[in-house]
Structure 1
Amino acid sequence: MVVEVQAPSTGPTASPPPLRHRPGLTLLFALTSFVGASLLFVVQPMVARMLLPHFGGSASVWSTSSLFFQVLLLGGYLYVHLTTGRLGRRVQPVLHLGVLLVPLLVLPVALPQLGDVTSSPVARLLWALALMIGLPFVVISTTGPLLQRWYSWTGLQRSEDPYFLFATSNLGSFGGLLAYPFLIEPFLRLDQQRTWWSWGFVVFGLLMATCGLQALRGARASVAVEESRSEPLPAAPSGPRHPAPTGRTVGWWLFLAFLPSTLMLSVTSHISTDVAAIPLMWVVPLAIYLATFVVAFARGEREPGPWVLRLAVVIAAGAALVSLSQNALPIVARLGVDLVLLGAGAYAAHARLAATRPHPDHLTRFYLVVAAGGALGGLLNGVLAPMFFDRVWEYPMALAGMMLLGLGTGARPRGRYHPAFALALQSLALGVALLVIGKVGISWGAERGWPLLLVVAAAAVLAAVASLRPGALAVAVVGALVVAEVASVGDLYRDRTFYGSYRVEQIDDKRVFVHGTTVHGVEITGPGDPQPISYYGPRGPVGELFAALPAPDHVAVVGLGVGTFASYVGAGQELTFYEIDPEVVRVAENPELFTFLSSTEADVRQVVGDGRLSLQAEAPGSVDLLVLDAFSSDAIPVHLLTREAFGGYADALAEDGVLLVHISNRMFDLEPVVAAAADELGWSTLVGEAEGTGDELSSTWVALAPDRASLGTLVEHPDWRSPHEERVAWTDDFSSVLSVLDVS
């Protein structure tokens, strides 16, 4: 995620006398600003989309990519700050004309070798991004501040106030951001996208070079005018005419830029984890983030009203209630709360940031600090959180930061007690109330169908509290979230990796493996061999399929979970699991947690890597039963469901083999996608559904085979049916989750 920061003018700057009116040149600078911002926002989802299949479709691809882009933006701003200040108007444009040629050495954009899949995915991803797009991106990232500085040197009309280019830059940002998921991705293949983007960079380079030449011409004309004066000009004052910002101000800028960045990435990660890791899911939060930025900086220098900050605090408190509710609300409602939270919090922070922007004398320093704050948000979400946290702490941290925005906007505690003691008592009372409402009340209301009503009612109460005691509410929200996380009972294991957050819980006699918000495996503890339950029970589609088919010699499963499929195979059979996250392998192989793998007599092996890519190493026709069960939390593994992916599965399957696909999902109906892929191959298809009774969970599976006879007695089984008539074809170059959205 990258957002270029431009600050409106707060006063005139020193510039050469205006030259003649040249609207064509002004339009040139505006057009260049537009093209540069468009390319900047198109390339981010494009390269992340190219890399997704190689990292298991993980939502962390976007947060790590965002960190990369933010660091490069910081480097670009630092380059502008140093070169314009030290080289001046007669040398800096010449330098940059040479810099524009360097990225041509690495174009067109291409996917590099990604290295060993067992190495650090963050390091591999950052290295791939650097090779793919590093040089072109850092050059384009200089465009916003550099074009404005150049224009101030041209002596053209409004050169003393070049900040109008801010509007064209934002227009280009929105254009590029929205064009990718709606105009580019649906109609251009990835190889076409990277080719056209590379040609776009060439056009941008020519426009930028033309602007640089105009800046040089204006600078030379200004020098000529000054040298032709008969009387020397009075000495210019040394240093800026306005005092430099204090360290406290710079720290406040850093925090106000950091908070929306980490909040946006946290919301994006939640949506990508529970919906789908695709560009459309990245664009929505980024568009909200960018919109709040633009609106805040268009307001002028006025501090936002107290109601803006209090509203942000209340929404954060409501989001905390939803977080405490243990997923009692429907996923659509929870995603809506996340997006509203992002809009309110980002606007409140950006409005306070805009109100404290400096005089243009210190404009480039302001750019640097804001870019550094955004990079810190990317560093926290993309690197530090997966490395040091065993759960998603950055989301509560972002809520805590929003509370800090509301401090000082309400009445201070008064009375006979010390203000700090009164604040502590109020915070304790509110924290207990939040825990009761969130952990007990909403879950209780979910059984009666009205948890959302409880959230709205609680938010109304919190709004009244926030108008008087925002500090107490802030402490209470943060405390309630921390207590709820720390006091989680039954957790036998917790960890966090690049691919997600995991935990193992002991609930009565069941041991449960949870990824994000979705159960990925359950084992009943006790004597004897483990029995398959949850999605894999003998009375559900999986058990029915194994009962209907002859014992397969070689079973391959994409997605390990806790290894439940091992309970369906025995001596003389081969079972291969493909799992991209080594930590999941360690959990499944630990007999103190789960025993499916340790108790089977089958020949079991685990292959660490993306299932689709790893299957290419299998001998053609060597797999009798191939199972796709590789969801990350509830997100759709889009790259595993494309036409090209199914072509690879067909190569691995034996002539009488069967492909079984798990398509259970809370938001999307994936049956038309799998059915379309089967039609493309000319395969027979059956859909098995289970409502879920006792220890078995409701689930939906699709069985496909080149020969209908290979499906055995499933053809006549009452719980298996032909797919519905609707078809939605996905390819590696095009997939639209909106086409399979199911909100019924």
Structure 2
Amino acid sequence: MSADQPAGSQPDSQRPDSQQPVRRALFIATILTGSFLLFLVQPMVARMALPRLGGAPNVWNSAMLVYQALLLAGYAYAHNLGQMPIRRAAKLHLILLVVAAVTLPVALVALPPPAPGWEVLWVPALFAVTIGPVFFLVSAQAPLMQRWFSLHPRAGEPWALYAASNVGSFVGLVAYPLLAEPLLSIHAQSLGWSLGYAALIVLVVLSARARWRVEAAQPETAPSVEDEAEAIGWPRIFLWLGLSAVPSGLMLSTTTHLTTDVFAMPLLWVIPLGLYLLSFVVAFSDRRALAGTITLAAPAVMLLAGGTAMISRSSGTMMLAMGSVALLFVVAVVLHARMYELRPPASKLTLFYLVMSAGGALGGVFTALIAPVVFDWVWEHPLLVIAAALLMPLRPLEDLRRLPGLDPGMARLAAYVLFAVAAFLCWQLAQYAIMPDPPVTRLYFTTGIVLIGLVLVPWRPLFAGLLVLLMLAQGGMETVYGSGQGNRTRSYFGIYTVRDYDTLKLRSLAHGTTLHGQQSTDKALECAPMTYYGASSGVGIVMGQAQKLYGPGARIGVVGLGTGTLAAYYQPGERWRFYEIDPAVLRLSQNGTFTYLSHCAHNPQVAIGDARLELAKAPPSSFDVLAIDAFSSDAIPLHLLTDEAVGVYLRALSPRGVLLIHISNRYIGLQPVLSAIARHRGLTAVVRDDNPQDRTLLTPSAWVLLTRDPAQLQTLSQLRPDAPWTKLAKPGAQVWTDDHASILPYIRWNNMMRQP
């Protein structure tokens, strides 16, 4: 007897259809479980792929694109099942769930590595073949279970169950970095997910059994998709597509924009996706008060936070980061709430979710595939913000058109005058946007513009136009100028900005918020090492003494090219080899933008590809000195810092060789990580913290030295007594491995609120 069946009542199998228990809790549990598994497996597979793919933001965007495509396929599958009689649909679905279980536990498929430049297609293919079958079927749970739930004559509206689905998704997403990754190895995570998948099959069986005898009021021949679309109307279909595509694309563009130009901090990718999921909880709730309040506040948020969408100055603060994620949440809630208000009858539920999923996939395709090829910067981000302003319902706090004694023509004229005043204020603001002071003046101008913008809400074109002007005034003109001058290069792995400082005779290369090197444009100083690579830095000390340590034929390897600054230490007779994953970076050294390789080292070898994979192919003892300098902004190349990765480096080093690892980072303390690996492998390990006085040409840096031969360190100390090395911090609790590593224990939380 079930918990919701009164004592003394008939068994379910003997009761009339209308008296069957609704079992709402069962369907909610099934939906929650499926969504939890869906968003737990996403970061899990991305984490599995780190040793092959690294941590570039577009890797996560590629993963999201695959998940959105599989979600679309799953929703199409659910739509087709929803047209079948319940018994036939349940049998087919359960058979496929069981068959897909043969691909478990989840493990990365061994695809051959991609050719340089083909990562944009290879990465999605890797994710698709690894997780495709089970992800496809699990993704169907939310719409399919809602459809089955609605078959009961007393079930009521099923839409709130979609909010429950996104609660499960959010919990799964957050649980991974906070619980699963720190506590469990990849292998244990995969096994645990497989057990969850088995539990889901049981819940689907119970859900099917709960509707086994309920006869849905369906015609014998289910209407086709085309018939349903025609009944709803194609304009409505296209509006659904737009309302779902913009938040999806904005979620990915916010992630890229934040990690590239605003605030590249650890775990930041979780926040946009989590807020995107929570937006469905608010938008699809039976209680509409919160969604209505957010819709009312949306124009102000759009102007305040959306007005910063073109900033590319790499000078972001936590305030800008918070504004960006707040904008994403508000836009997603408002557009998804409008979708909810345009929802069809429950009989067309699966078609509604199919179109919504198609829109999500379109947003992903635009952001992850098209934008990196078409744009030189994250232009997709402001474009999606503008699209949101054109789609969102604009509800004015006070409508100028309804003021007593003001006819519509005069109200429109007043709106144009106010727009002209706001445009003048934007022009004034642009004069101050590039200045550090005075911030109060910028605040006054911004406040005035926003207040006028709120009055212009009834006139959507004027409101959207003012938003564009505000974007341009708050840094957009500088961004447009940079694109016009060809100062940026965008590839699958990031956005690189080249800047010339004529008064200092310097040219710099920045990747997001991180300086990747600079070179003097003065021919007399073009081979002077700068930034993190000065003569007193850890790497500068070793490179400068390489011939005294290993003779005139010293073999030098460098992982990470950047501007090629380390080539400044090249001495005749030495053999150098660089490893760089991004061909776009190499082109900057080949086309004359930076000349360290061609003028200072006479064009040493450069291997294109993932350094860890390339080094694994190198003959043993290939290098005497190997420097690892492959950071992408403040993102951690975790796959290059595991015990297995260090094993690859040591194999490539000669027995007396020296391994140098660059660990300068604002948000993560990596000394305990390398200290644990050094203890595990019996290596001598020290760190050189360099704080140069000249901050114009040189940058503070931290380089860790690892070696199997302590005598090398003693020799270095004798050669450079003015630049001491110190012991590493206490080893971490565990050794990072490909199977188990988490940055969570090493985050410098007190640095999060500080300006980069």
**Normalising to structure 2: TM-score of the pair?**
0.84
Q: Deviations over 1:205-235 (max 9, x none)?
A: 2332343344333339x99xx99xxxxxxxx
1:345 partner amino acid:
V
Query: 2-side partners of 1:403 and 1:326: how far apart?
Result: 24
The corresponding residue for 1:432 is: 427
CA deviation after TM superposition for structure 1 residue 742, in Å: 5.2
Q: Equivalent residue for 2:135?
A: 137
Describe the superposition over 1:66-98 as per-residue Cα deviations: whole angstroms up to 9, x where unpaired.
11111111122222223323x344533333233
Give the structure 1 partner of residue 51 of structure 2: 53
Does the Cα contact within 8 Å between 1:50 and 1:190 map onto a contact in 2? yes
Per the alignment, residue 403 of structure 1 pairs with 389
> C-alpha deviations, 1:318-371, integer Å up to 9, x for none?
534xx53723444x3433332223233323333333333333243223212221
Matched, 1:153 2:148: no
State whether residues 537 and 688 of structure 2, in contact with CA within 8 Å, keep that contact through their aligned partners in structure 1: no
Deviation of 1:511 after TM superposition, in Å, equals: 2.0
Shift of 1:134: 0.8
Count of residues in Structure 1 that have an aligned counterpart in Structure 2:
699
1:431-510, aligned counterparts within 5 Å? Answer: 431-440=426-435, 443-445=436-438, 459-470=446-457, 471=463, 472-480=465-473, 482-488=476-482, 491=485, 493-508=487-502, 509-510=505-506
- 1:312: Cα distance to partner? 2.2
CA distance in 1, matches of 2:636, 2:366: 25
Out of 708, 716, 739, the residue aligned to residue 746 of structure 2 is: 739
Instruction: Show the counterpart of 2:616.
Output: 616
Residue identity opposite 2:113 in structure 1: D
2:305 is aligned with 1:309: no
Q: Distance in 1 between matches of 2:132 and 2:626?
A: 39
Q: Secondary structure at the match of 1:720?
A: coil
Aligned equivalents of 2:371, 2:529: Cα separation in 1: 34
Structure 1 residue runs without a partner (length 5+) = 1-15, 228-235, 446-450
Which among 107, 112, 117 is matched to residue 115 of structure 1? 112
Contact 1:65 1:126 in 2 (8 A): yes
Quote the residue 1:290 is aligned against.
Answer: 277
Kindly indicate whether residue 207 of structure 2 is the aligned counterpart of residue 211 of structure 1.
yes
State the Cα distance separating 1:601 from its structure 2 match. Answer: 4.8
1:18 positional shift: 4.4
Task: Compare 657-666 and 540-549 and name the one that shifted more.
Answer: 540-549
1:113 partner SS: coil
Question: Is contact 2:283–2:337 with CA below 8 Å preserved after alignment?
Answer: yes
Partner-residue secondary structure (3-state), 1:186 = helix
Tell me how far 1:187 sits from its aligned partner: 1.8
Q: Residue type matched to 1:134 in 2?
A: G
Matched residues in 2 for 1:479 and 1:281: separation? 26
Would the alpha carbon gap of residues 612 and 456 (structure 1) be closer, same or farther in structure 2, given more than 3 Å must change?
farther
What's the offset of the Cα at 1:501?
0.9
1:41–1:670: structure 2 CA closer, same or farther, 3 Å change rule? same
Shift of 1:603: 7.2
**Is the Cα contact below 8 Å between 2:163 and 2:285 reproduced in 1?**
no
How far has the Cα of 1:548 moved from its partner? Answer: 4.4
Q: 1:271 offset after TM fit, Å? A: 4.4
- Secondary structure in structure 1 of the residue aligned to 2:301: helix
Counterpart CA distance in 1 for 2:155 and 2:729 is: 62
Paired residue for 1:720?
724
2:311 maps to a residue whose letter is L
* Distance (Å, rounded) in 1 between the aligned partners of 2:722 and 2:678: 21
Q: Deviations over 1:285-313 (max 9, x none)?
A: 22222122212221546773563222322
1:74 aligned partner: 72
1:175-186 equivalences in 2 (<5 Å): 175-186=171-182
Question: 2:527–2:600: 8 Å Cα contact kept in structure 1?
Answer: no
Q: Distance in 2 between matches of 1:354 and 1:462?
A: 32
In 2: Cα distance, 1:300 partner to 1:250 partner:
25
> What letter corresponds to residue 714 of structure 1 in structure 2?
S
CA contact (8 A) 1:562 1:594 kept: yes
Listed as ranges, the matches of 1:5-20 within 5 Å are 18-20=17-19
Matches of 1:97 and 1:490, distance apart in 2: 56
State how far apart, in whole Å, the 2-side matches of 1:382 and 1:400 are.
18
What is the 5 A alignment of 1:509-520?
509-520=505-516
Q: CA deviation at 1:490?
A: 9.5
Deviates more, 1:626-635 or 1:680-689: 680-689
Structure 1 residue 154 displacement after superposition: 5.2
* Helix, strand or coil at the partner of 1:704: strand
User: Helix, strand or coil for the counterpart of 1:695?
Assistant: coil
Counterpart amino acid of residue 638 in structure 1: L
Shift of 1:378: 0.9
Query: 1:643 aligned to 2:670?
Result: no
What does residue 231 of structure 1 align with? none
Contact 2:418 2:452 in 1 (8 A): no
| C-alpha distance 394-425 of structure 1, shift in aligned 2 (>3 A) | same
Work out which of the residue numbers 350, 354, 359 in structure 2 matches 1:368: 354
Tell me the CA shift for residue 475 of structure 1: 3.4
Mapped partners of 2:510, 2:164: distance in 1: 46
Q: How does 1:533-544 map to 2 (within 5 A)?
A: 533-544=530-541
Counterpart in 2 of 1:249? 236
Counting only pairs closer than 5 Å after superposition, residues 661-700 of structure 1 correspond to structure 2 as: 661-682=661-682, 683-693=684-694, 694-700=696-702
Deviation at 1:127, TM superposition (A): 1.2
Amino acid at match of 2:629: D
**Shift of residue 498, structure 1, vs aligned partner:** 1.0
- Per the alignment, residue 707 of structure 1 pairs with 709
Partner AA of 2:292 in structure 1: P
State the secondary structure of the residue aligned to 1:687: strand
Q: Do the aligned partners of 1:540 and 1:689 also contact (CA within 8 Å) in 2? A: yes
Q: Which amino acid aligns with 2:583?
A: P
Q: Which residue of 1 aligns with 2:626?
A: 626
Q: Determine which of 347, 364, 368 is the counterpart of 1:382.
A: 368
Q: Are the counterparts in 2 of residues 318 and 455 from structure 1 also a CA contact under 8 Å? A: no
Structure 2 distance, partners of 1:562, 1:65, is: 29
Render the CA deviation track for 1:693-736: whole Å, top value 9, x for unaligned: 14222222222222332123337745434245444353331212
Secondary structure in structure 2 of the residue aligned to 1:444: coil
Residue aligned with 1:219, SS? coil
Give the Cα separation in 2 of the matches to 1:568 and 1:494. 27
2: distance between equivalents of 1:414 and 1:246? Answer: 35
Q: Cα deviations across residues 254-299 of structure 1 (Å, max 9, x unaligned)?
A: 2222222122212222444577797x43322222221222122215
C-alpha distance after superposition, 1:35-73 (max 9, x if no partner): 211111111111111112212221111111111111111
How many angstroms apart in 2 are the aligned matches of 1:79 and 1:149? 12
- Normalising to structure 1: TM-score of the pair? 0.85
Contact 2:27–2:207 under 8 Å retained in 1: yes
Instruction: Classify 1:689/1:458 alpha carbon distance in 2 versus 1 (closer, same or farther; 3 Å).
Output: farther
Q: 2: distance between equivalents of 1:708 and 1:454?
A: 59
Contact in 1 for aligned 2:496/2:511 (Cα 8 Å)? yes
Distance (whole Å) between structure 1 residues aligned to residue 444 and residue 679 of structure 2: 50
CA contact (8 A) 2:66 2:127 kept: yes
Q: State yes or no: 1:559 paired with 2:560.
A: yes
